[in-house]
Amino acid sequence: MGKVGIITRGVPKLIDPLPGGRHLIDGIEFIVSWARANSLWPLVYGTACCAMEMMSTGGSRHDWARFGVEVARATPRQADLIVLAGTIVEKMSRPLVTLYQQMPGPKYVIAMGSCAISGGPFIYDSYSVVKGGGRLIPVDVYIPGCPPRPEALLYGIMQLQKIIRTEGRRNPWQVKEPYQVPVADSFSAARTAWAVAELQPLRSPSVQAIKPTRLVRPEYPEVSRQAVKNQGLSGQAILSLIQKTFPAVRPVGPDGLLTDALAAPDSPADLLVPTGSYCDLVNFLKNEPALGMDFLQWITAVDWPDRFDVVSRFLSTSKGHAVVVRTAVDRDEMVLPSLTPLFPAASWHEREVYDLFGIRFTGHPDLRRLFLDDDFPGHPLRKDFRDESRVMARPY
């Protein structure tokens, strides 16, 4: 304990028993608590739409500096407040706990918005969203809303300042524990409670239930769709050109099944290519002068009952036409050649497919998880993914 610590802890014990000493110490502590409550330095931690409301609160219109919440800090060593403004995903959980532990005490947390309080709209069917920041770090003030307005955040700050002003030597600040209450299906509980309440008779027989009047649905005139001029080759022309070199390529419909022709001649070609011709076809799309598809827009996958389809979309930036390429992947092997030698941007997209579906790409320079932690159990976009500890099934 340094000299300052000896003075701040020892002197009050000596003065307190003296006549009037208690009032003197309480007055000094009141001034110190008042100064701390009106000089909060928040940590920069905005993750979703609530962060926009937090920025607005710090802007010139609402100006939270009027309440002593001055400059937002980008380092935990200079902050004493975290405003959880937005969705918190599992990959953020450990860094968030680390930031809280690195902050010097006394330190405080405000959970702003439904996502930061309970997971919000992501409480059901979500594998990655934490069901409330209070499960990771102790929260002092909750501000409901989706998102709450800047005025609500200012009110929450004032409530936190009331808590800080009550702290002192007689009521010292202490590190609280995160709550460990199991996640409950509040929607089903509320629906059951409402069903029971509707069966109960009215308290007074003279009171009649008020039946709300249904609003008349407005009718709007139908807006005609303007025809858009297609750029480049049509889907049928692209299909005919490809089938001259790759006759096994066939068009597919929205249900993933093979068809004899495109659904619409002017729509982009959606083609199924054999796995052995996958890289050769992509090379043909890129280097054939009539096609010139030099831009890889995205790569994703579809989980069918009997197979996986890896789906890619290519665009010609000079001609304007596009094509969608599908190739089937066996559920037992889950292996496909990588497109990174042809399109370096495929590195990011293939890592995403590997992370969420578990499909491996041979020849990829750095095939590892992209969004989820290395120890995440399974691949969440597969239909056979089950994790009751993370995912709560939607009851409706």
pLDDT tens digits, residue range 26-42? 777 788 888 889 999 99
Q: Kindly give the pairing relationship between strand 360-362 and strand 335-337.
A: parallel
Give the pLDDT confidence score for residue 264 in this predicted structure.
64
Alpha helix segments (H runs only) across the chain: 3-15, 21-37, 50-58, 90-102, 114-118, 150-165, 186-199, 235-245, 278-287, 346-357
Give the pLDDT confidence score for residue 207 in this predicted structure.
58
- DSSP code per residue over 10-57: HHHHHHTTSTTHHHHHHHHHHHHHHHHHT---EE--B-STHHHHHHHH
Fill in the amino acid letter for 77: R
Structure tokens at 183: 């996640």
Residues facing residue 85 across a β-bridge = 46, 112
Rounded Cα gap, residues 61 and 74, in angstroms:
23
Residue 325 belongs to some domain of the structure:
yes
The domain in which residue 283 lies consists of 235-362
Residues of the chain under the 70 pLDDT cut: 1-18, 20-23, 25, 202-212, 228-230, 261, 263-266
Digit-coded pLDDT (tens) for 137-192 = 999 999 999 999 999 999 999 999 999 998 877 788 888 889 888 888 888 888 88
Give the pLDDT confidence score for residue 18 in this predicted structure.
61
Together in a domain, 66 and 144: yes
Give the pLDDT confidence score for residue 4 in this predicted structure.
43
CATH at residue 307: 3.30.460.80
pTM of the model: 0.75
Residue 50 belongs to some domain of the structure:
yes
Residue 10 belongs to some domain of the structure:
no
Give the pLDDT confidence score for residue 1 in this predicted structure.
47
Structure tokens at 108: 């405080």
Of 300, 361, 307, nearest in space to 329 by CA: 307
Confirm if 266 and 230 have CB atoms less than 8 A apart.
yes
Helix axes 3-15, 21-37, angle to 10 degrees: 140
Give the pLDDT confidence score for residue 82 in this predicted structure.
95
Together in a domain, 66 and 147: yes
**C-alpha dist (Å) from residue 85 to 123, 155, 368:** 17, 15, 30
Rounded Cα gap, residues 296 and 343, in angstroms:
7
Work out how many domains the chain is built from and give that number: 2
Together in a domain, 128 and 239: no
Residue 330 belongs to some domain of the structure:
yes
CATH at residue 45: 3.40.50.12280
Together in a domain, 47 and 161: yes
Rounded Cα gap, residues 72 and 311, in angstroms:
44
Rounded Cα gap, residues 383 and 302, in angstroms:
10
Residue 107 belongs to some domain of the structure:
yes
Together in a domain, 259 and 157: no
Final residue of a domain: which of 117, 136, 165? 165
Together in a domain, 46 and 154: yes
Together in a domain, 250 and 355: yes
CB atoms within 10 A of CB 92: 19
Structure tokens at 368: 């590892």
Residue 243 belongs to some domain of the structure:
yes
How far from each other are the two terminal CA atoms of the chain, in whole angstroms? 59
Residue 100 belongs to some domain of the structure:
yes
Confirm if 100 and 88 have CB atoms less than 8 A apart.
no
Final residue of a domain: which of 165, 195, 226? 165
CB atoms within 10 A of CB 52: 14
- DSSP code per residue over 180-228: -PPP--HHHHHHHHHHHHHHSPPS-TTPPPPPPPPPPPP--PPPPPPPP
Rounded Cα gap, residues 353 and 359, in angstroms:
6
Together in a domain, 54 and 159: yes
Give the pLDDT confidence score for residue 45 in this predicted structure.
87
Helix/strand/coil for 361: strand
Q: How many helices (H) and strands (E) does the chain have?
A: 10, 11
